[in-house]
Structure 1
Amino acid sequence: MNCYLIDDEPHAIRLLTDYISRIKGFDVVGSNLNAKLALSEIHDLNNVDLVFTDINMPDLSGFDVIEQLPDHIKVVVNTIDSSYRQEANKMHVAGFLLKPFEFSTFQKIMLGLNDK
C-alpha cells in the first residue's frame, strides 16, 4: 500500500516514515510539510492508496485535505487534539492516531486497514 504523509512538523513525518518502514506491504511514496503542495503531489503521483494527515496545519486543515482527496484513498488522521475524533469519524477515516503514539498503537491501525 502506497502511503503519503502530510504534517507541518518534520519530526512527525520522520516518525511515520520509520513506523511505516517496519510494516510489510506499506511504502512511503511521498510527504510534504505543506498541505496544499501535498494535495497537488498526490494527484500527480496517481498511485497513493493511503494518506496520513495532521489536522491543524497553517496552510490548509487536514479536513480540507480529506475533502479534496479521491474517494479511493484511505485516510489516517494523526493529531495532538482528541477533539477532532468525532469530525474525523464523520468523514469515514480509516484510522485516528492521537499524538504522541507508540508503534504498537500505530501497528494496530495499519493491520486493520485491510479490513476497511
Structure 2
Amino acid sequence: VCPEDSNDSSRFMDLWYTFVDPYATEVDEMGTDEANKSVGVLRIKDGRKIIDAYEWKHDNDVHLLAQNDELIIYELHVGDFHEKFKDLTTKIEHFKSLGINASNINSYFFF
C-alpha cells in the first residue's frame, strides 16, 4: 500500500496470519518458519472424518542410535525390492550381517 503523496512506489505492506483449522483433529509442526509452523491435520476416508483413537504406549521404549562416527547407513529405494515394503523387510537380517545399523529410505515416487 503506497500513500498517494509518496514518490516511492516500491513500498508495500503484506500482512499474513496463519490459523490452524478449528476442525482439525491433530496439529503437526511441519512448517519451516514461526509464521507457518503449526499445520492442522484432518484425515478423511470415504467422505467421513477419521479420528484416530490410538493411544501411544511406547514413551519408555529406548532404542539408542549408534554414535555418528559408528553409523553405517544404507540408502535404499523401496522400488529396488520389487516395490513392496514386505520384500524389503525380508532383507533386514542380511543388512545386519553386513554391519549396517541405519537406513535412509528414499521417497517412493520420484519428483
Q: Could you tell me the TM-score, scaled by structure 2's length?
A: 0.20
TM (norm. structure 1) is 0.19
The structure where helix makes up a greater share of residues is 1
Higher Rg: 2
Higher relative contact order (CA 8 A, sep 6+): 1
